Amino acid sequence: MTKDSVKELDLSYLSPDVLSAAKNFADLKYQIDLTGRRNPAEIPNDLHGRQRYGEYDGPYGGDTFLESIIPFLPSDPDYEDLGVKLVPIPHTLGRSWHWWPEDCKGDEEKIISQITSPEYGKYAYYYLVKELGVIYAGEGKNRVNFCRHHKIDRIPVKVIQFHYPQADTIEIYYVNSHIGADVIAVLNERYLQKVSHISYALPLLNAYGVRVNTVWPTKFPSIDSIYEYGHLAKVNSKFRNCTIDLDKISAIGKKPDYFKAGYKLYGRLINAFSRH
């Protein structure tokens, strides 16, 4: 495999708006990582900092960062191996978890020679969310910020792509309840996820074509009933983030009142034990 034989990753199927939003999303990750390095207190702790099991403190991986912002990333998608491609660094979420560019003084030429080599690129793999044009590094995370620093636009790596739900199957809702305002996303009029960072998510979702609403449809269970019974309607296998099945909430709503009273008591017991 030679440099001339490696083709660029084709993103020409994406609209200019999606391409621009994907690039801006990757820039956002880079800027958050830089800010977190200087002053981590300025960054929300679900976007930078201590990992779930405490094994690492610093920039999040691209996958964790993406799923903390964008709803309905599948937990077990159908992956497609595209082979080694020239991947655009401006669209890629990296992670300087082991070293930063300035840690490599004196070794820059050696590193550049390695990471621009197709043979070396076979040992790195990056994931492409096809419909969003966002790429995140799996193996070879440190290369991304090094390339940004040295203005290297493309490097050869193995690309694995997977699909994101179609835009017309997702809706965003701004809602109010007895505990305050929230932003939630609904997929296929059934699955619900909370959107924690809507200002970061909206540019990419808007460009993709996701609709935004301020009125909660009457065909769905009430927001209060979702808060009341959501702990009984969780979906654990389809998506990476906590998800509630609205069909299950609707089914609970049709139960006799004495059943619902039992569900409420069960919920209180769960909350009580979870505090200890």
Q: What is the pLDDT of residues 192-214, one digit of tens each?
A: 999 999 999 999 999 999 999 99
- Whether the pLDDT of residue 1 is over 50: the answer is yes
Per-residue pLDDT at 266: 47
In angstroms, rounded to a whole number, what is the distance separating the alpha carbons of residues 119 and 104?
A: 22
What pLDDT, on a 0 to 100 scale, did the predictor assign at position 227? Answer: 87
Query: What total of structural domains would you count in the chain?
Result: 2
Q: Is residue 29's pLDDT more than 50?
A: yes
Question: Does one domain contain both 156 and 46?
Answer: yes
25 and 144 both lie in a single domain: yes
**CA–CA distance, 215 with 193 (Å, rounded to integer):** 17
Q: Are residues 8 and 144 in the same domain?
A: yes
- pLDDT value at position 264? 53
Same domain, 205 and 264: yes
The alpha carbons of the chain give a radius of gyration, in whole angstroms, of 21
Could you tell me if 114 and 184 lie in one domain?
no
**pLDDT band for position 248 (cuts 50, 70, 90):** very high
- Asked if 244 and 230 count as a contact pair (C-beta separation under 8 A), the reply is yes
Domain's final residue, options 142, 162, 182: 162
Q: What is the pLDDT of residues 120-147, one digit of tens each?
A: 899 999 999 999 999 999 998 888 988 9
- In a shared domain, residues 134 and 229: no
| Pair 10, 137 in one domain | yes
The more confidently predicted of residues 47 and 8 is 8
Residue that is last in its domain, among 162, 177, 199? 162
How confident is the model over 137-181, as pLDDT tens digits?
999 888 898 899 889 999 999 999 999 999 999 999 999 877 778
Q: Do 194 and 251 share a structural domain?
A: yes
Mean pLDDT of the chain: 84
Share of the chain above pLDDT 90, in %: 52
Supply the pLDDT for residue 274.
44
Q: Are 7 and 83 in the same domain? A: yes
Higher pLDDT, 68 or 104: 68
Q: Given this model, what pLDDT does residue 265 score? A: 45
| Domain co-membership, 100 together with 198 | no
Same domain, 235 and 130: no
* Residue 196 or residue 102, greater confidence: 196
Q: Pick the last residue of a domain from 132, 162, 192.
A: 162
Q: Which domain holds residue 200?
A: 167-274
Asked whether residue 143 falls in the same domain as residue 177, the answer is no
* pLDDT of 269 above 50: no
pLDDT category, 101, cuts 50, 70, 90? low
